[in-house]
Structure formats: C-alpha cells, structure tokens
Amino acid sequence: MSYSAEISRVNPSCFLFIIDQSGSMGDQFIQPGFEGRTKADFLADTINKVLTNIVIRSTKTEETPWDYFHIGVLGYGATVGPAFAGSLSGKSLIPVSEIAENPARIEERAKKVSDGAGGLVDQNVKFPIWFESVANGGTPMTQAMTDANGILSSWLAESEHQDCFPPVVIHISDGESTDGDPSGVMTELGNLTSSDGNVILFNIHVSSSDTGSIKYPNSSEGLPDQYAQMLFDTAGHLTPFMIQTARNEYGFEMSDDARAYIFNASPDELVAGLDIGTRPTADENLR
C-alpha cells in the first residue's frame, strides 16, 4: 500500500517548498481581514510558521529535534535558488535539526492563547525567521521546477532515502510562467518515486482578488483557463490522511481522489493548504 512508510530518523521524508517571488507577489490582498498585506509578506510569515510547526512537531526533549524531515525552500523571481536566509543561505535540502538551530533571527510576537477558563489572553511567543519576503522580477517557473527536479532526484537516489514516505513538493505561485511551459518538467517532478509512492506536487495558486477558489478538485471541470488546467494536470493526489485532515479539521468537501490543488486560493485557504500539505501522515506515525 502506498503512502504507508514509517517516517523516522533513519527513514526521513522530505518537504520542498517552491515559492514565487516575482514582482506581482508585491500586490496587496483585498480580502477582508488581509487588506494592506502583500502576498509576499503574508506568504513569508506563513512559510516561517509552517517551518516552526514542523520543528516543534519534531521536538521530543530539550535535545535537538529529531530529523523526521529534510526541508528545502526554493524561490524564483529575479533569481532562482535556495531561499533560506542567514547561515542556511544557499542550502537546498537540510534536516529539521539544522533548521531548528539556525533561524536567521528570532522575533517575539503576541499570540492569543486559551486562559483555561474559556477566554483568550495574549502570550509572547518566539517567532523564528528563516525565509524573507521578496517580490521582484519575472516568473521563471520552468527553471525553478528543473532545479527542484535535480534536488529531489539526487535526494531520492541516496540509499537511505529510497524507501522514504514520498516527498511533498508545495508550489505557491500567483501567475503564469515567464520562461516557457513548465508542464513537462512539473510532470517529471510528480513522476519521481520512492518505493512507497510518487512525489506529491501540491500546486497552490494564490489570488489577491476575491473571485472564489477551486479547491481539491478531482476533475478539471470548471477550470477557467489553460494555466489553471496545467496546474491541475501536474498536481498529485492528496494522501488519505491529508483528505481526512481537510474534511475533519477544515470542513472541506472532496472526493477520495482529490488533487493537491487550489486555484485562486484566499489567504486562509493558503494557510490551510500548507497545513494539510505538511501533514501527509498522522503524527503518531512519526517514529
């Protein structure tokens, strides 16, 4: 049965984020509650929170977190390349422990938490930063996907990764490629495999307008254009646990063969998609 491998320190899995850093990501959201925030700023905050959550999930004691996952962030805009900041700059796929020990900086931010009596109080929490907001240049999606292919092929070829729980690639973009048709190389990316199944390419198209989204479809019916079609065609299928999370925790309706795909995602749907995409299996299976 696919997507059933145990994730452990001796059999880690992998997340690769591919992030559009083109000039249009500097546009502001108009959705209520997010007005004034640029897509790039919001995405940077969200990616940093997702990385924090992965580190915390991998933390068992005060010792360095367990390397359940290797993680990479690839940015594409004026340049294409690994997008970690600080001492991790230039590194493509690194274990969770190294990410935990090397944020570029740590901010303190207020977070609303339960007071145990039904109310909420502000609590200062540490907010590590590994990824900075960038919005500059074109959309060299084809180059980014080619680089991602190279990174993941090499990682999967290593003997200790060949039986891994298949990597999840989360691609976030707000527009079409400016360096040719990336569909071929995106299909190749989704055809990479471990013994436990195919790499899952999760395409999230973000929108700063309020035009309504198409979430986790199982067919291309109703997609507005060829670009949306291309993102659907190259998207992988959600794992059963991803579907369970999406249905039970977010109330999203979808079929059992839903694709890892959102078109015109709102900010909330982007956050939900990143949560769903980075929990491909239950945390009880992190051994």
Residues of the shown chain interacting with another protein in the complex, contacts defined by CB under 8 A: 6, 8-10, 52, 55-57, 59-62, 64-65, 100-101, 103, 106, 113-114, 116, 123, 125-126, 128, 282-284, 286-287
Q: Which is nearer to another protein, 28 or 59 (CB)?
A: 59
Q: Which is nearer to another protein, 127 or 227 (CB)?
A: 127
Number of neighbouring beta carbons within 10 Å of residue 268? 13
Q: Which is nearer to another protein, 163 or 181 (CB)?
A: 163
Min dist. Cβ of residue 11 to another protein (A): 8
Q: Which is nearer to another protein, 46 or 139 (CB)?
A: 46
Min dist. Cβ of residue 99 to another protein (A): 10
Q: Which is nearer to another protein, 36 or 118 (CB)?
A: 118
Distance CA 264, CA 172 (A): 11
Q: CB-based burial of residue 6 (10 Å sphere; 0-12 exposed, 13-18 middle, 19+ buried)?
A: middle
Min dist. Cβ of residue 113 to another protein (A): 8
Distance CA 17, CA 25 (A): 16
Min dist. Cβ of residue 245 to another protein (A): 13
Distance CA 93, CA 72 (A): 4
CA 115 to chain CA mean position, Å? 31
Min dist. Cβ of residue 169 to another protein (A): 25
Min dist. Cβ of residue 66 to another protein (A): 9
Residues making up the chain, counted from first to last: 287
Q: Which is nearer to another protein, 46 or 52 (CB)?
A: 52
